[in-house]
Structure 1
């Protein structure tokens, strides 16, 4: 096998693709320092799988990629390809030439290729192992490696000689084979553990199958009993429904009779209604006539009021005319007096004219003025006479109108008296009709009340029937609900029983001894299954007992010795054991009065546990100085004041003597509550299935 060709691209200083063809014999690379001779050797080492960047004179693998210069930009990938001749078949591959390539991207991804096919680094290592080629093989020697070889210890030189002799490949195969053998042995151990667990499951499943068979028989018996019970209840309900149907038929017959009687009364009522309609029609006609007469009377009264208003107006105008006539007469008298005075003055003027000629021109002008005034007074007197004649004529017309209005008023009063008498007669007739109608309505109301009573009884019977039907449906629903609840309780009870039988939640050693041949008479069980605690104190007792709940109770100390030997022999873990009736020699202390009087103190933990008398001493021993309190803050305060006592809260937080505190998230009672839940789910004779 010889290196035939070397292709470098992007590796360190080889930015461009560089191909070196190596012929037979010795090939030497000559050049000044820094021209890349060492980079060629490092490229060969890197292509063969070197993973340490420091050996290749770099800090990390990305430093091997050409990083660029002032004239050339950096590249994103470095690739080196080695071509080997395989004419002698040293490489375990059916090719005469084998190309081994490695690529490195600036993102950190790396690829290996054999004959341009992607592969793993392991494939490259397996291909060249034993050939003398490799990143740490003797085929690549550096100057510092000669010095290291000369100063190496015998083991390192032996490794070099074994590699040169071709033995290193077999050492690697031996190491790989031993590692596979160890893995196989571990797998065999796991298979053995799985077989043991499967055998346990098979035994458990067989027990469950038997329990399921028993449960199926009990369930079938329960189903038959339930069906018989509900069949009887259904028969009773049907009998009650039939009795109610008989009562309902009788009530319907009585209702039919009452309906016939109501029909007869209804016919009579119809006749009375027709007679009542005739009377109402006559009353309506009379009311219409009365309305017409009333409207005529109202119109007459309105006309009478108009005439009276006119009469008042005429009286006012007559009084005003009389007053005006009197004023005109007084004015006429005044005018006549003025005329007479003017005549006298005229005579006096004439006398003065005749008496004095000197005053003639003055008096003539004065006389003409007086004459003109006299002419005006005479014209006014004539107009007053004319107006007086017109007023007298109007007064006579008003007197005639007053006479006509008085006649119409008398006629309207007579007609009003006639209408009042007619209205009174019609009112009497309507009153009698209303009395007869009220009697008929009273009879009709009584008959309707009887019909309503019959209808109400029928409705009550119908509702009773519907209630019985609903009760029957409710009973069926309750039966289905009871059946579902019973199934759920059975399933939960089976789960509880299975958990108890399989000792779920117990330690590995406890589980091993409880399923061992020693279990039964020798080993009674665990402490958690032998005590009973009220539900509100379960978390407190479980927090106080903690791991002691898994104490295995034995009848004698010798049986404990056998159980420990069994666990040690079979390598099944560890367990803690106590004997029945075991207790320490100290007498349990009583709660001090000052501590008992503290608010929030529930009492001694041992007094809250129910168990057999043979276990009372053991319970008093493990819960000797434990006091149950309500919350953690109170426990913290009391622990400072009563350091010789241990305190546990209702949520399971424990402060022991000496300051050891155990607590945190809520303790969910499991081992202690398992027995109580099983008793609650298990049917009792008092409450039945």
Structure 2
């Protein structure tokens, strides 16, 4: 892609519409001072928005409008550039691309417009389209006056930066740095998310424990209600038995009452007989004398007293019998209530003993788990400390290698600069030799002096050639050292990645997951069958390749190998019943043998 044509309208010294054609590869413009050669470059900068107005030798954009005679005072200026896009350097399906800019002056201010293929766009859109073709404001697509002198006076590092910008490497370096920055931000966010996930995981474990306690409480509550029903049924059965006993006792009491009633009736009959006898005696007394009458009266009174005493004793016996019955009933009631209370207390004692035993067993299990966790935590802390020390050492080695590499690169740059200077000096000496040889052929009188100068220059040339060879050999050695350092840096980066993976693994927690440990423990206790173990337990590898295997396999090292898919289903049901979580199972009957490589060995 190249500039095909530039069109000026009222721009600086171009007071009318002017079109300038350009050709492919190379085009030169010549003319006397003040003829407008620099204005063409200013027009390119103006139209493409590659520079400010000060760079174009103007205080403000309105100073770019043609300011000719009084008869012609235009209020706008416009520059249009047409690019040849037949090579599709700009990703558009057009053979010609047109970029135009127009500045218009008003009473109070001015306005600037950009056009891309006749459509009004912004400066950012213009730069975006030009950047696709490698034209940027920061680049050296347009070389201004003084730029060449400035480039020659720059250091090698600054010139290297300019070459990178021209070649487009600087843009990729900026993108790389930006991507690395975003990657660092993402890494920090991932670490923050990992911390949040760890907290959520801890909270979930805590909630899972509380849920288990709640489910246990609910089950115990249901069992308590069931046992209370059993107790009520037992009490009802005892009450029915007691009612039957009371009915039997009441029947006995009624029978006794009937016997007492019969006895009372007999006594009443006896009393009536005695009263009749008393009346008969009274009649006889009346008939007999007074002394006998008195004697009879006394006997009668004694008999009445005896009768009353008998009646009182009968009533007293009945009252005592009723009191005894009442006391007996009360004693039975007290015995029943006492038996019920004793039964309830015994049941409560039994429940508390069972609960005490379960709590004691659970406490012992928790203590055992705590001791195991403490030992595991101690092991993980030791591994983490060792891995952290290895990581710090690897980081330090990496920084030393980077510093050494940077120093070698700087030495290489210095050697290259020295080589360039020596090469330029060598070319100057060769030119002097050619000039001397030409002078030698032109003048025989200066032969001796020229020969002397030639010998001197030849010696200088040989010394410079030796210096150049030394510089080249040093440059070659530096390159070899850089290659060795890059190889070492690559190996250290791999070690650093492995150490970092180990640190992340140790931070996430060592050992197997709770589900895998439950399955392995059940297999050892013969609760589950067909369990062979985890990949980490079954796999055997040389110690040199263990770290690579751990990094590559990751969490798949915890997969459990079983005989059949039925064994896997039983293990999954076991985990569901125990609420142990999830685990990955590899049934051997569902896995097909892959082609074995000759380099692999099986134990």
Query: Could you tell me the TM-score, scaled by structure 1's length?
Result: 0.27
Structure with the bigger RCO (C-alpha within 8 Å, sep 6+) is 1
Larger Rg: 1
TM-score, L = length of structure 2: 0.30
Give the helix-richer structure, 1 or 2: 2
